[in-house]
Amino acid sequence: MKKLLTIVLALMLVLGMTVNASALTVAFSQIGQESDWRTANTDDVCGAVEAEGWTLVYDDAQQKQENQVKALRNFISQGVDYILFTGVVSSGWDEVLKEVNEAEIPLILLDRIPDCADQIDYVAAFGGDFVEEGRRMAYWTANYVEKLGRSAEELNVVILEGTTGSDAAIGRAKGIAEVLEDYPNLKVVASQTGNFSRAEAQPVMESFLKSLDKIDVLLAHNDDMALGAIEIIKNAGLVPGKDIIIVGCDAPKTAFDAILAGEMNATIECTPLYSRFVVQTIKELEEGKEFDKTVIHPEEGCFDAEGGIVYSADGRVSEKAADVIADRKY
């Protein structure tokens, strides 16, 4: 009896191993859950990996680099098949990512590309184009102003910047500045950080309203800050979306609601839905296809109340928020 049990157990072990060997193990080191965007990003990627029947090893670093370094080393010792990686900061990854290379585990960079990217090997990289997002915010604004017939008017622009030093804030600021150079009627009169947070954007907007005589346009590096500022603008007795043109970035569902309510004018998309890319890339890598090291950007749109406004240099046209809100997942 005992023997039989041993044999059965041994058989189960062997079978179990063969089953495991056929499925891929995909590890994902995520920054944490600092925003709706990040949550949607995590849910989307993790959900897709599990839906493929692959084993998912997920680690939430709670905004700490040391947690991520630890997680990456764990992934190496577990011998996972793929590592998906988003770095909480841009520097300081050289050592641990080289260890990943030495372990010969294919590395896929998501969202934030670390500084040392040219010194390490990675099989693919995917992320938003922050500079282009900044350009689009400015283009949309300029074209919208033209549509309103106010392009001869001198308009005061204020900017709520993202977290000082973050890739997204630097990129978007650069893109905005680049395009606004061509539109001298749009004059940036103040630019201050709101740390990508609703709460911190509010006192900053408050001080803009108090210290400037006239504000016509608000460009917020993300929609959360725009939404925080809207409350302040309302409390100051102004009508957001009319007295002040408000353009945000990211395009979560909350921004769509604000656009439909007429309180916000437009949002430039920065999609967190990476699952299609991740799944497709891993499948193609399994088939032996190779990618070069250039960062692949997602297809992204721009949404406003009425649609039909050109928002990029290559002539892309914005979509109507009301038409797409039903499909928004986050």
Partner 1 sequence: MRKQHLDGILKSKIFWAIIAELAILIVCGILRPDFFRLKWIDQTGMWSGSLIDIINYSSEITIIAMGMSMVIALGGTDLSVGSLMAVSGAIALKLLRWDVVEFPTPGDFTVRPFALVILVPLVVCALMGAFNGTLISRFKMQPIIATLVLMVAGRGIAQITTNGKQFTTMFEPFRQIGLGGFIVPMPVIITIVVVTVMALFTRKTSFGMFVESVGINRNASRVSGLRSNRIIMIVYIITGFLAGISGLIYSSRISSCDSNNAGLNYEMDAILAVVIGGTSMTGGKFSLAGTVVGSLVIRTITTLVLFLGINPDAIMAIKAGIIAVVIVLQSEPVRRKMSELGKNRKQAIGGEARA
The site for partner 1 (CB under 8 A) is made up of 32-36, 39-40, 42-43, 60, 63, 161, 164-165, 190, 192-193, 195, 197-200, 202-204, 206-207, 210-211, 227-228, 231, 234-237, 253-254, 257, 329-330
Walk across the sheet containing 245-250 and list its strands. 186-193, 155-161, 217-220, 245-250, 266-269, 302-304, 319-320
Nearest distance from residue 154's CB to partner 1, in Å? 19
Task: Give, in order, the Cα–Cα distances in Å from 63 to each of 35, 38, 104, 134, 194.
Answer: 12, 11, 26, 25, 18
Q: By C-beta, is 106 or 252 nearer to partner 1?
A: 252
Nearest distance from residue 324's CB to partner 1, in Å? 14
Q: By C-beta, is 17 or 239 nearer to partner 1?
A: 239
Nearest distance from residue 8's CB to partner 1, in Å? 40
Q: How far is CA 54 from the centre of its chain?
A: 24
In our burial notation (b when 16+ CB lie closer than 10 A, e otherwise), range 44-72 reads: bbbebbeebebebbbbbbeeebebbbebb
Nearest distance from residue 130's CB to partner 1, in Å? 17
Q: Which residues contact 5 (CB under 8 A, 6 or more apart)?
A: none
Q: By C-beta, is 263 or 309 nearer to partner 1?
A: 263
In our burial notation (b when 16+ CB lie closer than 10 A, e otherwise), range 87-98 reads: bbbbebbeebbe
Q: By C-beta, is 6 or 235 nearer to partner 1?
A: 235
Q: By C-beta, is 74 or 197 nearer to partner 1?
A: 197
Nearest distance from residue 2's CB to partner 1, in Å? 45
